[in-house]
Structure 1
Amino acid sequence: MNRTQYIRQKEKKYHEHCYANYKLFEEGSWLHRPVSGVIEMMNLFKEQQYVTVLDLGCGVGRNSMPIAQKIKTGKVVCVDLLSSALHRLKQYSYDFGVADCIQSVESTIEHYQITANEYEYIVAVSSLEHVPSKSELENVLHNMKTGTKDKGINYIVMNSSVEEIDMDTNVKLDPLFEVNLATEEMLYMLRKIYIGWEELRVVVKPLEYRIVRDERHVLLRTNAITFCVRKKFENA
């Protein structure tokens, strides 16, 4: 088993435990609310009759559900590699009355084919750092750009400079992130790839979480980067 397979196995176990024990939008986990900025940006599309959205690493629909509720007509394509997450996403889409516009796709992010000039809004929250390598991350970002319509928006939240520390022994662990770049390097890469796009929101927020990995209590430290940009008219 290579490192990527090992990390994905651990991530699968962690997420399936979370999805099985916590309901969407109930307090007790990170599922209890969407990313507020992701939903706020939907206001920029409120005059449009039809909106197409891509949610990469959608999970059970933490952001997809409220996005779909804000659309008059359109579609939200929800991509995740966990079939169990997509099964729950489908159930939640009926619970929240948005099943007609939710489309689920079981795929890794790096293998998902993004159709060119297809989407007004592409969202990737805490998912892009789980592609296998920096080069594949760059490929995905370029594909996201290509898939975005003029004046469309990409909203990215990524962890950077991640540390994981065993809380019992205070020993630093190997962080279970396939791509773990220094914050400055990550920002440089994003700005280089999205050169010419309008920056709507760029924020770096230091965060700490207490998580459980293999029944060990672990402190996860990260600089969470919010990078939200809008594509300008090609002929502008």
Structure 2
Amino acid sequence: MDSCLKELPKALAAFQAEHHAAGRDSKGNYGAYTSLAGALAAIKNATAHGLSHSQTLHPLGEEVILLRTSVFHISGELLCSDLPIPLKTEGRANYWQGLGSAITYARRYSLLAIYGLAGEDDEAEAAPAPAAKAKPAAANSMRNLHIPAQASQADVPGASGPPAVEADTDICWIEKERHGRIVESLKSAPNKAEVLTAFKEHFKIATPKISPAQIQLQTHGDFLEEQLGLAVLSA
């Protein structure tokens, strides 16, 4: 299908054929690791294959923010990954320093993951036994966070990500022309607020506001066209 990812996977495969690991460029308390700068340097050559990325933060309430990593292809195709970050930074005297450290940590792992690169795992590999015991508690705290059921891949920015699917299932995105037609219709729609509210509730979107970039999947287009009467007009 024309709306399914085609060019982006090809470009990503070409990049991965040349690059497989970021390497360790920094040293921490438990040994060498891949820094954020190292991760960015490792994916720099992806631009030669028409790939680029962005990382944005989106609030999910008072206790969690969402780090959204988006990989773009010059064809207009898009791949995204979301990672929740707790806003509580216990054990840090400086709140913003602790939060900044958590965001930096999440950014480098998210970048390496979405580009499919090994990061030569850092402190986790060399951490002593006491630190290892603390991992289950951290994992449990993450599981207890309230994250919308469909706030993953296609929630980019904010639209609902598809539920868990088989690895070889095609993810179908909305065509560029169709997206533009829907956005233009929304701008002049007298019931714009009601339509966007219904869209947000239907797809369980976590972000407080809806932007054109959140209209991403074919199912998004189907829903909005029906709400705006476009499906009837085009029939």
So what's the TM-score if we normalise by structure 2? Answer: 0.30
Which structure's residues are more often helix, by fraction? 2
Higher RCO, Cα 8 Å, sep 6+? 2
